[in-house]
Amino acid sequence: MKRPSTDLFTDGGQAGRLMAELDWAGTPLGPVVGWSQSLRSAVRIVLSSRYPMLLLWGPDFTQLYNDAYAALIGDKHPAALGDDVRVTLAEGWDVLGPLIQEAMATGVASWVPALRLLLERAGYREEAYFSVSHAPARDDDGRTVGVLTVCSEVTEQVVGERRLRLLRDLSLRGDGRTVDVDATCARLVDAIGGHPLDVPFAAIYLRDGEVLRRTACVGGPPGQTTVLGALPDAVDLAAPGPVPRAWGLPDAARGRLVEVTGLAELLPLPAGPWDDPALVALALPLPSAAEDQPPGVLLAGVSPNRHLDEAYRSFYQLLVQQVAVAVGNAREYEQERRRAEALAELDRVKTNFFTNVSHEFRTPLTLMLGPLADALADSTAPLPPAQRERVETAWRNATRLLTLVNSLLTFSSLEAGRARSDARVVDLAALTAELAGVFRAAVERAGLTLDVDCPPLPRPVTVDPVNWERIVTNLLSNALKYTFIGRIRVAMDADDDEVRLTVADTGIGIADQDLPKLFERFHRVQGARSRSHEGTGIGLALVRELARLERGDVRVTSQVGVGTTFTVALPWSTARPTAVTWPARDGRGDAAHAAVQDALSWLTDPTGGVAEPAAVSGPGTDELAGARILVADDNSDMRAYLSRLLTSQGWRVRSVTDGQRALDAIHNEPPDLVLTDVMMPVLDGFDLVRRLRADPATRALPVLVLSARAGEEASVAGLSLGADDYLVKPFAAVELIARIRAAIRRARAAAGGPPEATGRVIDEGQPAGNGSPVGDGRPVGGLPPAVNGPPSSAGVPAAAPLAESAYASPPALTDSPSAPTTPTEGSATPTEGSANGSADATSVVPPADTGGAVDVRWTYPSAPTSASAMRRDVRRVLGSLDVDPDVLEDLLLATSEAVNNAVEHAQRPSRPEVRVRLRVGDGVVRISVRDFGTWRDRRPAMDRGRGALLMNAYGDVRMVSTGEGTTVTIERRLADPA
């Protein structure tokens, strides 16, 4: 049974147990049995609290405290129990004493939110901060006999905020865009010098060949010891042997962080809040791409009153990164300044190049347009109708190409400041009315009304007629493109200050947020309805630049759904005395006529039509005879060309002008294949593919994207959405035909058509019949029809993969280490790829009585073109199963990103391949994508990148990277509501 005197300390934790064992009779408080009720109550309050609390009792300030307070005083515990606080905290008594004595003398509590206190609790003089409250403690008679202290340490918060301010100051002063490198370094060390409690001194050394030169330094009180006399001006990194008094700079210049000790001998510099001598410095290499060749070194002192812990070291890493960024920016700016003169010369050369190349463009265009025009005008040997149609198509598009070349060359001249205005005195009203009249037929053909109101002006205007023609032409073309009902009005008026051209329409209008960017080059209003998406995107920018070249300007007002009005204003003061009178037409107006021809191509019957197939014969024709193909393209010449080309193969072709009309046509009469452009009005090609894949009725419909958007990014975007193929303009007709044939064959096989190659390996890069037999030639049991694809026709690639019976993975790369991959019973033997790297194909699937389980594996060559094959094959297998459409699309999006990642990194010469495995069972789909690329841990990139975000959003993702390559596994439950 405990003694009554020790019951007071029960449940007081370790501090309570120590108090119970302490001989209180030897302290000023005396035996516990003699303690007053007030003291006992105060002790109970202290021990029962989880907040740091200290009770000082009596004239000797005897200490009683709890476990939380014991942690704050470090190695002064437990000796401080029952001792005088003036002895325990002697180093900080000059700060604490007045606060404690004031509370006892006045009986009024105090509160200090961030009290700086010198402590020697860990073997050194430490800078610490506390939020402290001192409240009077009274005895049984109500007299103040002690102080109850409640405190919490806020050192990390105070020091952290202080260091953050330094980093902020560095970012503000380290802007190297307007100063040279030396000035930037001076500003950086000046910012560091404002925070001596954290960085007592600093110096920046920059590499100059094999020499480190001190660029700037700071440290030491004014008029006292400074770092200038102690630090070397330069360090020769090529010097043999150790460099005396080098402050660790040679090692830091090789990329190693060096901790420099013994500073009392090298630099007796007072530091910290109590002017203790600095003892340690850090030599930190400036981060760069070449870790062993940093561009410089930051030498920074360490506060003698703060422990160099992990937080302090992290602060220095952030500090040196800020310095490195600022120095790097300053160096880049210096290099830019040194290149300015060379760039000016280059700009002059570029302008001369455009001037010269204009002749090179125009010469072949002239030699194209001339013979084409002669052939069309030759009445002695008229062209047959079919040939005449082809020649007219070539002439129209060559004329359009000439217009585009002229616009681009004019714009480049304007940008370079080399454009000139060939000003002439013209009858501007008559010229404008004439140019507007050129557009009348096209406007009326579009079902619109053209109003031209150009009364004679008070006097002639001085302007370049060619520039004015381009201004009027671009504005009228723009109005016709975006106006579907109503009218277009062209008007001219004038007052005492200016003459104004107004082109107003009742078109779709422009939103307020798009108006400020309307005259920026290449700017397009996203999602705007238009007759065509063709064009360079510089038309309105060209209008503004030409108007300014004529010393005028252009402005616009618009309201969505109401219309748009462009106003070009030319001040009368632009009259130039050197101007001459402009003669009659003189061959001008070519730009207007070319623009009208271009506009007429937008106005072809928007519903398109059905082109009946021609009678053809030849190998493979009967197999696909009568196939229905839908063509979606907003260019009438392209639609006509594709219709002629495809009907020559015996196919029925329907053409439409945009993606929305394509959707309507597909729902009315589903085709066998969709051939779509990307850039189209109303609904573009990518949105068309997205909607087709989201609809279960059209999910398996083959889609071939035909676009002028070249590059891997564009093709990946289309294929990721589910397109079966992507072909870039210009294209070879034979290639287009071959790809269409392959896509239709694959779709028919996937739909359950008669199997054309059961249990055979087809080398899609070789003529049909060159496949290798698999197993005993029997069909692979349970294989979805999409996997047992048909053979390709001669020379027509179908991009099938090589499936394998065993994954052949090292243990570290298996998808489930506890269940190593083994060949499936009755599986086929894997076939080696052909010598030229083409992919071969088989598949391994358990028998049909396994409850719907599927296990399919493929091996592909790592060429980028294989990415589409992987996506297509995974889509085929999943599409043949009972998988929720939303889950299917999520899996395909995640797989697409994993495949792109694998193809990108599958560059190891010994294993240039990618392996894909798809397993379905127990309500779970698991897709593994493996490459044998050069090893590196790609998890950080996976965690940060867009692809990782997509993969993790649409399934559970695991990545394993070893020296043998990388495997990404995506897993998703079939019934997952997400």
Look at 561 and 522; give whichever has higher pLDDT: 561
795-798 — which CB contacts under 8 Å span 24+ positions? Answer: 795/738, 795/767, 796/738, 796/739, 796/741, 796/742, 797/738, 797/742, 797/764, 797/765, 798/742, 798/745, 798/746, 798/762, 798/764
Q: Which of 99, 127, 153 is the last residue of a domain?
A: 153
Q: Are 557 and 658 in contact (CB under 8 A)?
A: no
**Tally of CB atoms within 10 A around 238:** 8
Helix then strand count (H, E) for the chain reads 26, 32
Bridge partners of residue 859, in order along the sequence: 802, 915
Region 102-115: mean pLDDT is: 92
Helix axes 733-750, 866-879, angle to 10 degrees: 20
User: How confident is the model over 185-198, as pLDDT tens digits?
Assistant: 999 999 999 999 99
Q: Are residues 453 and 325 in the same domain?
A: no
Which stretches of 651-751 are assigned E, i.e. beta strand?
Answer: 652-656, 673-676, 703-707, 725-728
3-state secondary structure (DSSP) of residue 462:
strand
- Give the integer Cα–Cα distance in Å for 684 and 665: 15
Residue 794 has pLDDT above 80, yes or no: no
Q: CATH number, domain at 94? A: 3.30.450.20
- How buried is residue 289: exposed, middle or buried, by Cβ count under 10 Å (0-12/13-18/19+)? exposed
User: How confident is the model over 440-466, as pLDDT tens digits?
Assistant: 888 888 888 899 999 988 888 888 888
- Give the integer Cα–Cα distance in Å for 507 and 558: 10
pLDDT score, position 602: 66
Q: Are residues 740 and 883 in the same domain?
A: no
Reported as a pLDDT band with limits 50, 70 and 90, residue 175 is low
**Domain presence at residue 799:** no
Pair of tokens at residue 457: 């002006």
For tokens 């995974």, the residue is 874
- Give the integer Cα–Cα distance in Å for 181 and 452: 62
Which stretches of 391-505 are assigned E, i.e. beta strand?
Answer: 424-426, 449-453, 461-463, 487-494, 498-505
Q: CATH number, domain at 696? A: 3.40.50.2300
Q: How far is CA 569 from CA 248, 266, 469, in A?
A: 69, 75, 15
- Give the integer Cα–Cα distance in Å for 324 and 167: 13
Q: Are residues 858 and 824 in the same domain?
A: yes
DSSP labels, 191-249: HHHT-TTT-SEEEEEEEETTEEEEEEEEES-TTS--STTTS-SEEETT-SSPPTT-TTH
Task: HSE, CB side, 13 Å, CA atoms: give it for residue 632.
Answer: 31
Which stretches of 612-678 are assigned E, i.e. beta strand?
Answer: 628-632, 652-656, 673-676
3-state secondary structure (DSSP) of residue 99:
helix
The dihedral through the CA atoms of 444, 447, 451, 452 has a sign that is: negative
Which spans in 417-538 are helix H? 428-438, 440-445, 465-482
Reported as a pLDDT band with limits 50, 70 and 90, residue 600 is low
Q: Are 642 and 656 in contact (CB under 8 A)?
A: no
- Give the integer Cα–Cα distance in Å for 543 and 469: 10
Q: Are residues 195 and 147 in the same domain?
A: no
Residue 47 has pLDDT above 90, yes or no: yes
**Tally of CB atoms within 10 A around 385:** 8
Residues with Cβ within 8 Å of 348's Cβ and at least 6 positions away in sequence, in order, are none
Residue 948 has pLDDT above 60, yes or no: no
Q: Are residues 265 and 188 in the same domain?
A: yes
Q: Are residues 694 and 842 in the same domain?
A: no
Residue 710 φ/ψ, nearest 5 degrees: -90, 170
Q: 391: which DSSP letter?
A: H
Q: Are residues 100 and 175 in the same domain?
A: no
Nearest to 357 by CA among 418, 312, 408, 310: 408
Residue 944 has pLDDT above 60, yes or no: no
In the chain, what's the furthest Cα-to-Cα distance? 136
The dihedral through the CA atoms of 116, 117, 121, 122 has a sign that is: positive
767 upstream amide cis, omega within 30 of 0? no
Q: Are residues 138 and 239 in the same domain?
A: no
Q: Look up residue 395 and give its amino acid.
A: W
Mean pLDDT taken over the chain: 76
Residue 302 has pLDDT above 80, yes or no: yes
**Domain presence at residue 380:** no
For tokens 């196919």, the residue is 651
Q: CATH number, domain at 934? A: 3.30.565.10
**Domain presence at residue 611:** no
Nearest to 570 by CA among 499, 668, 494: 499
First to last CA, the chain: 63
Residue 608 has pLDDT above 80, yes or no: no
- Give the integer Cα–Cα distance in Å for 949 and 478: 40
Classify residue 417 as left (phi > 0), alpha (psi -120 to 50) or beta: left
- Give the integer Cα–Cα distance in Å for 236 and 492: 76
Pair of tokens at residue 567: 């106003």
User: How confident is the model over 906-915, as pLDDT tens digits?
Assistant: 655 556 788 8
Task: HSE, CB side, 13 Å, CA atoms: give it for residue 12.
Answer: 25
Domain count, the chain: 5
Share of the chain above pLDDT 90, in %: 27
Q: Are 288 and 295 in contact (CB under 8 A)?
A: yes
Reported as a pLDDT band with limits 50, 70 and 90, residue 766 is very low
Pair of tokens at residue 969: 């596994």
Look at 317 and 806; give whichever has higher pLDDT: 317
The torsion of the CA quartet 134, 139, 140, 141, rounded to 10 degrees, works out to -100
**Domain presence at residue 888:** yes
Q: CATH number, domain at 265? A: 3.30.450.40
pLDDT score, position 609: 57
- Give the integer Cα–Cα distance in Å for 775 and 761: 10
3-state secondary structure (DSSP) of residue 731:
coil
Nearest to 422 by CA among 586, 569, 594: 586
Nearest to 565 by CA among 653, 633, 475: 475
Alpha-carbon 135 to chain mean position: 58
Pair of tokens at residue 860: 């592909």
Q: Are 294 and 253 in contact (CB under 8 A)?
A: yes
Angle 364-366-369 from CA coordinates, rounded to 5°? 110
**Domain presence at residue 398:** no
pLDDT score, position 90: 93
Q: Are 232 and 203 in contact (CB under 8 A)?
A: no
Residues with Cβ within 8 Å of 448's Cβ and at least 6 positions away in sequence, in order, are 480, 483, 485, 486, 487, 488
Residues in the chain: 978
**Domain presence at residue 86:** yes
Per-residue b/e over 467-480, b at no fewer than 16 CB within 10 Å? bbbbbbbbbbbbbb
- How buried is residue 865: exposed, middle or buried, by Cβ count under 10 Å (0-12/13-18/19+)? middle
Q: Are 689 and 676 in contact (CB under 8 A)?
A: yes
Q: Are 749 and 755 in contact (CB under 8 A)?
A: yes
Q: Which of 153, 185, 202 is the last residue of a domain?
A: 153
Residue 81 has pLDDT above 60, yes or no: yes
**Domain presence at residue 193:** yes
pLDDT score, position 521: 62
Residue 281 has pLDDT above 80, yes or no: yes
Question: Which helix (H) or strand (E) covers residue 338, if one does?
Answer: helix 310-377
User: How confident is the model over 731-760, as pLDDT tens digits?
Assistant: 777 888 888 888 888 888 877 654 333 222
Reported as a pLDDT band with limits 50, 70 and 90, residue 27 is very high
Which stretches of 460-506 are assigned E, i.e. beta strand?
Answer: 461-463, 487-494, 498-505
User: How confident is the model over 459-518, as pLDDT tens digits?
Assistant: 888 888 888 888 898 898 888 888 888 899 999 998 888 899 999 999 888 887 777 777
Q: Which of 153, 184, 205 is the last residue of a domain?
A: 153
**Domain presence at residue 765:** no
Q: How far is CA 239 from CA 187, 215, 417, 497, in A?
A: 31, 20, 54, 77
Q: Are residues 74 and 22 in the same domain?
A: yes
- Give the integer Cα–Cα distance in Å for 577 and 829: 89
Q: Are residues 551 and 455 in the same domain?
A: yes
The parent domain of residue 436 ranges over 421-603
Residue 829 has pLDDT above 50, yes or no: no
Q: Are residues 433 and 544 in the same domain?
A: yes
Q: Are residues 429 and 551 in the same domain?
A: yes
Residue 6 has pLDDT above 50, yes or no: yes
